[in-house]
Structure 1
Amino acid sequence: MMPPEIPSQRRRTGRGRVSPQPEGFYEPEIVREEAGPVVEFFGEDGRRATYSFAELPCPGLHADLAAAWARRTSPTGDGLRTHAAATYAWAVIGRLVRWLGELARPPRTLRGLTLSHLRRFDQHRRMTIQATSAVLEMAQVRALLREVEPAGLLREEVREYLDRPGQLYGRWREVNSKEPPPGYSDREFAAIMAAARKDVVAIRQRLRASRMLIERFETAPHTLSEVERARAEELARMLRTGEVPPPMKAKGNGGHLPDLAAQRDCAGQVFLTTQDLPALMVLGVGLSGRNGETIKELTAEFRVLDGRAVAVNLVKRRRNKARTRRTIHWEVGSESSRLHTPGGWFLLLNELAESSRVFSGSERVWSIWTGDTAGGPEEFKAARSAAKGHIDPFGLKLGRQFEWNKWVARHGLTVDASDEEAEPEPLVLTMNRLKKTAEVRTTRAVGGHLPSASRTNTPDVSFLHYLRNDPTIRDWAEEILTEALEDTEASARAFRGRILDEQTAKEAGHDPAAAAEKLGTTVDKLTAAMGGELDTLVASCLDFEHSPQNGGGLCNVSFLTCLRCPNALVAERHLPKMFALLRWLQSELDARGVDDWIARHGITWLIITRLILPKFTEAQQEQARANASEKLPTELLDGLKEPL
């Protein structure tokens, strides 16, 4: 039994004193045992969740899967940092375990999980949902199983399947060959922004007029008429208490029932409401070029710098963790141009939402009044009730749905007509296309210099995902294509192959095992590659039977894609054919338009000239150039074909 603590011996706190701390290391209790394992999730976005395995079948899998799930959702996990991401992944895992439980012989432990199980589940999901969605679901399954410790709990065939490179990229390309839609045309973008700006101006005038009336009521009530005083008193009461009393419907039309539409309109005189969100979102994305999720996560903390710029805290979830949060500076502009600059838009949003944030307690800049009697999930109803109907619209769920088609129809937005006599079609509005349009316009404004244009993404992401396939960029690039643009685009080319340069070739001569390990292959495959046994057109293939560009099966794609594949190995003896290929590519450029040539061969040309040849010495290149054959077997460029 410990002796009683003497008051004079207690550690006291104070300035300059170290706070008393418990002994040992603190480890949060992430996995709890109740009826089954329960995993607590604490998202970086401030949202929390509890995931219980007790509701799932196959109890023999629960403990190991729960431990893997806890590791994946921990602060050091592989990317499940938000409530939305974790809930999506959890839904996928739940579907897998429930499907396993319905089998005639479900696995009793993880050791009983076979590769056949995973492939059959993949096939089952493809029969239920779109193939692209099934690819993403299987990526979630693999990510969880990679967290299983020790790895020996899984069969060897399953571990080999999980370690196979390029699965997501290859399967995605296999089932999703369609190019993403381009950004909006200049006319479409101008119409979208004009509609959003018109709505935001109306919102600003509505709220400012009410506040001016309240100010007159409080400072000079004698200047108001009796009707104006009554209205101002009602508005002031709402602004002070946050409560919006519902007017009653007239008799004969549902009398003695609250008129919710009138209540919403009344609240809209002093607070933002749900109907205000679409225009504010569109204007924010269109002016800043940021994606919708980033705009939704804007915090209420900011600093105005000399009245010319505002420092805003951003959250971009897809960046690495060290760069998830950052501070950027947005131009504010003059008073007359506030709705044409991202900083001016942010300051206005902060002003308009401020009266509602007092009651919602939102840490983000967003806050609206929605009422405390509407439906929805219990957590939403509880949040509304606790804050008198005021909420952060993206606080509990980032993926709030908008009825964009209604907003588009209200403003009569249409696509550019290819036929002047045809009936104009309604425009399809998405935040991704709007962001892409902003990227394109910025790139054109800075003369195509990607490092200057890429304010929201790295240059390679900007080019590959936003700019490369946009028709306005292609048309414009034909006129101003310069070597500077080509040099910048080189960083956007994803080269994942391996190069047997002069130093590595020497290492392979006296220590093949070390060279093979350095290149990420085996001694046998390295030896076969160096002997020419694994040659394709201008490289060696280290794993022809497992192509990441063909879903892990036998490779059947064009030899021109070899240089983009992680299975490729380029050695000095491939250089003569590589120079012959460059000559053929030049002849193709002479025969085609610039945009067509870039789409077909630009990536291959840039990989060779910017990423492969610099790895070899000038002497090696000169000798290879001299030995390059005049004719290349171009009939093989599209891959091997069966004889007719």
Structure 2
Amino acid sequence: MSGRGHKAVLPPADFQSTQRIAADGLRATVVNKEGFERVFDFASLAVPEPMRRSLARAFAEQSMGWNSHASGESYWRSLEVFARFLKAQGQPADDLGDLTSATLRLWRNNHKDTPGGREALGKMRTLLNREPRLSQGLPAEELARPVPKKGKPSKQSYRPSERDQVLLAAERQFRAALLRIRENTTLLARFRAGALDADSREWRIGEVLEHIAATGELPGAEDPEGKVYTRAERLLRGRNGGKTTGRLFLTRQELTSLAVMMTDRYGWNLSVYDRLHVPVITPSAGETATVTYEVLVEKRRSGEGQWFDTENYTDSGADSPGRLITQALEATKNARALAAALAPGHDLLMTARNRRPSDVDSNLDRPRPLGPLVFGVSKADAKNWATSHQLGSPFQRTRRTTVTTTGKPLQHKPGTNQSIYVLPDENVQRAAVDVIAAGAEEALEQARDYTFKGRLTDAADAAHQETATADCADEETSPWPDPSGGCGADFLLCLSCENSRVHTGHHPRLALLHRQLKSLRSTWPEKLWQKRWDEHFQRLADLRTKVNESTWHTSLARVTDRDRMIISHLLKGDLAP
């Protein structure tokens, strides 16, 4: 089955697969998923001819797993770097089998410290491992060494103020386009319904909009040189120099603004928009005021069998995740209708009108233009958008910001999320300082709560009130006052009160309580122990260090029957007020 759920069919009987390498052994062909071919000529590499043929053969074998020309281009760039390196050595090896471990070690050392160098190392390592003559001996050992890990990423997430600036620019441009298209689509619907006066300016505009919706072009006559003369442009622009064909379609910059907003909301990368199909509306059980969209996200880097991922977003209000998809469907409605008329079955969501139909993207991995329409967002579109808004290219940083603030993996594995996005990000590291500090302060506060807060004295004071665990210096100023007067605290809490006084006569009783709680811990479930006894046990442990551990231990010899009775009642809860 294909990613869209269509049954696969067998190729024609006379079908022949594309030859990956030409008869001369120097030209390798890469075929992308759309069936377009791209030829790479190894005759241009500055290495001896036997090595060119060996590299071409390894390249062609590796290309069997590629589905885009971009993969071939990235490997080709690495091959050019490798060829320049060998040429710089003065007398490069005649063929791959003649490469020495010293040459491969120098190649590694010269390129392991830069991002581009590490990329070249990784790709050439893959290609050279396909050469049987390098599968043994010292060269094989050198190739077996892993490529150094990536360093600090060049792109960082946005700070809140930076993100707000980028998002505001995108929102302003897209919202204005949406309102324009909404207004003119409504006018076109009224024209089609016959609800306009035939003598009115609105009717004349509606007539032009009908032509634009059907062709994507203004009505007019073309001269022998191909220039179109039309009166409709002045009619549509009006006094304020408004849009012409843009009354019904997004421009490429406006489509880019929509993509920036989607990246901020959903964390999609730039390549997703080239193949983003129209979402499917799924039923919402028991809901009539909400709409749920099923979005099929294509992720080719995930490998065969994992290209597609389904995500659901519900439009339940202004700030709900699905509202942006509703607006995208509305803004691209007319363009998608024209695309379906020109090519039945065409259902790509991200559709715009190309202001210059002759401006065709040479990247054959991207969807081909259809009449005056273009699909998806190219790297050039992103660069032009950033330049016009005087901002940096937004997609990588916006995606990184969404991933790091969401707190969970989006379109990638958990390990990738942590190692590539979260841990190296400066804003995450900066925020972690506050989190760690807050955690340390909370731990310190907890530790303070579990410490003995009273005072140690040498002897009892007749003015103090005796309790089960200590003496109380002032019952009326208790942190836990009783509604009827006095202190309402459990006797075990006395040691956490600043009014408590512990003298040498309390040591045997408290040492016995500490020992009893210690033996009790192994018999209680951990959750119940934490809830009932852990606080008091830690406070007694703190008191023991303040009294002196040897004094604490020897006091057990002075435990009386009265002490045992009091501790027994405390453990049973009989002395709780």
**TM-score normalised by the chain length of structure 2:** 0.60
Q: Secondary structure at the match of 2:148?
A: helix
Tell me the distance in 2 between the aligned counterparts of 1:123 and 1:353: 53
Identify the residue that residue 156 of structure 1 maps to in structure 2: 137
* Residue 306 (structure 2) pairs with residue 323 (structure 1): yes
Q: Secondary structure at the match of 2:300?
A: coil
Check conservation: 1:214, 1:232, Cα contact below 8 A: yes
Identify the residue that residue 481 of structure 2 maps to in structure 1: none
Identify the residue that residue 384 of structure 2 maps to in structure 1: 403
* Residue 247 (structure 2) pairs with residue 269 (structure 1): yes
Q: 2:116 aligns with which of 124, 133, 140?
A: 133
Identify the residue that residue 72 of structure 1 maps to in structure 2: 62
Tell me the distance in 1 between the aligned counterparts of 2:49 and 2:165: 57
Q: 2:419 aligns with which of 460, 464, 467?
A: 464
* Residue 151 (structure 2) pairs with residue 168 (structure 1): no
In the TM superposition, residue 314 of structure 1 has moved relative to its aligned partner by 0.9
In the TM superposition, residue 222 of structure 1 has moved relative to its aligned partner by 3.9
Identify the residue that residue 3 of structure 2 maps to in structure 1: none
Identify the residue that residue 208 of structure 1 maps to in structure 2: 182
Tell me the distance in 2 between the aligned counterparts of 1:42 and 1:360: 26
Check conservation: 1:72, 1:144, Cα contact below 8 A: yes
Q: Which amino acid aligns with 1:85?
A: S
Residues 436 and 55 of structure 1: CA distance in aligned 2, closer, same or farther (over 3 Å): closer
* Residue 291 (structure 2) pairs with residue 308 (structure 1): yes
Q: 1:357 aligns with which of 339, 361, 365?
A: 339
In the TM superposition, residue 280 of structure 1 has moved relative to its aligned partner by 0.7
* Residue 230 (structure 2) pairs with residue 230 (structure 1): no
Q: Which amino acid aligns with 2:398?
A: L
Q: Which amino acid aligns with 2:212?
A: M
Check conservation: 1:281, 1:295, Cα contact below 8 A: yes
In the TM superposition, residue 227 of structure 1 has moved relative to its aligned partner by 2.5
Identify the residue that residue 31 of structure 2 maps to in structure 1: 42
In the TM superposition, residue 35 of structure 1 has moved relative to its aligned partner by 4.5
Q: Secondary structure at the match of 1:321?
A: coil
Q: Which amino acid aligns with 2:22?
A: E
Identify the residue that residue 20 of structure 2 maps to in structure 1: 31
In the TM superposition, residue 190 of structure 1 has moved relative to its aligned partner by 3.8
Check conservation: 1:338, 1:345, Cα contact below 8 A: no
Q: Secondary structure at the match of 2:296?
A: strand
Q: How does 1:216-615 map to 2 (within 5 A)?
A: 216-220=190-194, 222-223=196-197, 225-244=199-218, 265-300=243-278, 302-306=280-284, 307-334=290-317, 336-337=318-319, 341=323, 343-344=325-326, 347-348=329-330, 351=333, 353-358=335-340, 361=343, 364-372=348-356, 374-375=358-359, 387-394=370-377, 401-409=382-390, 428=392, 430-443=394-407, 453-468=408-423, 469=425, 470=428, 471-476=430-435, 478-479=437-438
Check conservation: 2:249, 2:352, Cα contact below 8 A: yes
Residues 199 and 383 of structure 1: CA distance in aligned 2, closer, same or farther (over 3 Å): closer
Mark the runs of 5 or more structure 2 residues left unpaired by the alignment: 1-8, 285-289, 443-577
Q: Which amino acid aligns with 1:159?
A: A
Residues 47-100 of structure 1 deviation map (CA, whole Å, 9 limit, x = unaligned)? 64232334445321233322311221213xxxx443223212222214434664
Tell me the distance in 1 between the aligned counterparts of 2:22 and 2:436: 61
Mark the runs of 5 or more structure 1 residues left unpaired by the alignment: 1-17, 249-253, 410-426, 444-452, 484-644
Larger radius of gyration: 2
Tell me the distance in 1 between the aligned counterparts of 2:85 and 2:115: 20
Check conservation: 1:366, 1:392, Cα contact below 8 A: yes
Check conservation: 2:28, 2:41, Cα contact below 8 A: yes
Residues 377 and 205 of structure 1: CA distance in aligned 2, closer, same or farther (over 3 Å): closer
RMSD between superposed Cα atoms in Å? 4.4
Matched pairs, number: 411
Residues 400 and 161 of structure 1: CA distance in aligned 2, closer, same or farther (over 3 Å): farther
Check conservation: 2:335, 2:373, Cα contact below 8 A: no
In the TM superposition, residue 276 of structure 1 has moved relative to its aligned partner by 0.9
Identify the residue that residue 96 of structure 1 maps to in structure 2: 82
Residues 257 and 216 of structure 1: CA distance in aligned 2, closer, same or farther (over 3 Å): closer
**TM-score normalised by the chain length of structure 1:** 0.54
Identify the residue that residue 49 of structure 2 maps to in structure 1: 59
Tell me the distance in 2 between the aligned counterparts of 1:401 and 1:461: 25
Residues 389 and 107 of structure 1: CA distance in aligned 2, closer, same or farther (over 3 Å): farther
Residues 145 and 302 of structure 1: CA distance in aligned 2, closer, same or farther (over 3 Å): farther
Tell me the distance in 2 between the aligned counterparts of 1:369 and 1:304: 29
Q: Which amino acid aligns with 2:20?
A: V
Check conservation: 1:371, 1:388, Cα contact below 8 A: no
Q: Secondary structure at the match of 1:402?
A: helix
Residues 3-44 of structure 1 deviation map (CA, whole Å, 9 limit, x = unaligned)? xxxxxxxxxxxxxxx999969xx9834424244443332334
Residues 392 and 143 of structure 1: CA distance in aligned 2, closer, same or farther (over 3 Å): same
Q: Which amino acid aligns with 1:91?
A: R
Tell me the distance in 1 between the aligned counterparts of 2:205 and 2:308: 44
Q: Which amino acid aligns with 2:292?
A: A
Q: Which amino acid aligns with 2:304?
A: K
Q: Secondary structure at the match of 2:93?
A: coil
Residues 584-614 of structure 1 deviation map (CA, whole Å, 9 limit, x = unaligned)? xxxxxxxxxxxxxxxxxxxxxxxxxxxxxxx
Q: Which amino acid aligns with 1:351?
A: K
Q: Secondary structure at the match of 2:349?
A: coil
Tell me the distance in 1 between the aligned counterparts of 2:278 and 2:258: 15
Tell me the distance in 1 between the aligned counterparts of 2:439 and 2:277: 40
Residues 143-165 of structure 1 deviation map (CA, whole Å, 9 limit, x = unaligned)? 211223xx225673332221113
Q: Secondary structure at the match of 1:168?
A: coil
Tell me the distance in 2 between the aligned counterparts of 1:255 and 1:44: 37
Identity %: 19
Residues 387 and 435 of structure 1: CA distance in aligned 2, closer, same or farther (over 3 Å): closer
Residues 19 and 245 of structure 1: CA distance in aligned 2, closer, same or farther (over 3 Å): closer
Residues 185 and 373 of structure 1: CA distance in aligned 2, closer, same or farther (over 3 Å): closer
Q: Secondary structure at the match of 1:268?
A: helix
In the TM superposition, residue 474 of structure 1 has moved relative to its aligned partner by 4.3
Tell me the distance in 2 between the aligned counterparts of 1:122 and 1:163: 12
